[in-house]
Amino acid sequence: MNSPISSSFSPEKSTIIAQNDLRALALRWLIEPNPSLKAAGVLALRQAWLANDLSLDRATEAASLNHAEVLIPGKPERPELVPPLGVKRRAMNTVEGRAVLIHALTHIEFNAINLALDAIWRFESMPQEYYSDWLQVAQEEAYHFNLLANHLVSLGFEYGDFPAHNSLWEMVERTQEDVLARMALVPRTMEARGLDATPAIRAKLGQAGDQAAAAILDIILRDEIGHVGIGNRWFAYLCQQRQLDPVSTYAELATLYRAPKLRAPFNLEARRAAGFSEAELLVLQAP
């Protein structure tokens, strides 16, 4: 794989790259369509950042970085994208049934890599720690993707073999004009749903005898608590900067951007660990 700092590009894409700049390189891997290359590129990008080999231009607007006509995010020809109800469920007592579930989780992690990269590239004028936090998220999501994709191969399938839905990325697109809305409704809403759902999914896979998949979900839940916590951190920061009340502001944004209605059961322990306040959890549980 080419280094994320010295990758070769086609002429129509080369104009978007500022050599060694984190935000420009985040865009470079965001538009990469090959899932394996994207994941490897993100892992190398984080290593370069931690080694202080990258610069960070916090001032340039996203539109100035993106001079070329590029597809955001880059995605492979497969899987076929269908509405959420078009993703079929199958019995857990078959290998294919477990593979369908693992495939759905793999697709979520693929989208999660993209949403973290988009958070870096799209929003300017945030503190350096914001970009560092979201690069950590991107790297961990790439790690999760690799774990799930490799496990899918061990079951005799590959990422792309089954249809998938795109609701996570759809919320990313809706919130592209405002970092406050992005922090409120992607990590704190869409990804936080994973905190609620993961224990039940893990139990299903464990009961079906797939202990390897169950162990992967333990890793994902541990890391996702941190990812939602990063969303909470920057949502709180932005509310403070704009002198907004977090609870009422979240409710307004959820209505404005048509966020999905969250339904019980809720993983309150994980949500507390991710930084949700008791006031927020009370509103969440209100009838």
| DSSP conformation class of 120 | H
Taking each helix axis from N to C end, the angle separating 95-122 and 128-154, rounded to the nearest 10 degrees, works out to 160
Residue 49 in tokens: 């950042």
Q: What is residue 18's predicted lDDT score, i.e. its pLDDT?
A: 53
Distance, in Å, from the CA atom of 202 to the CA atom of 126, rounded to the nearest integer, reads 36
Confidence band of 168 (pLDDT split at 50, 70, 90): confident
The answer to whether the CB of 131 falls within 8 A of the CB of 18 is no
Average pLDDT over residues 7-31: 67
Q: pTM score > 0.95 for this model?
A: no
Q: 173-201: b or e for each residue (b if 16 or more CB lie within 10 Å)?
A: ebbeebbbbbbbbbbbbbbbbbbbebbeb
Q: What is residue 67's predicted lDDT score, i.e. its pLDDT?
A: 54
Q: Could you please state the CATH topology (level 3) that the domain comprising 80-285 is classified under.
A: Ferritin (1.20.1260)
Which of 227, 248, 226 has its CA nearest to residue 239? Answer: 248
Residue 5 has pLDDT above 60, yes or no: no
pLDDT digits (tens, 9 = 90+) for 47-75: 999 999 999 999 988 877 665 567 889 98
The answer to whether the CB of 26 falls within 8 A of the CB of 120 is yes
Average pLDDT over residues 220-237: 98
Which of 256, 246, 244, 234 has its CA nearest to residue 279? Answer: 246
Between the CA of residue 187 and those of 157, 182, 227, 276, what are the distances in Å?
29, 8, 7, 12
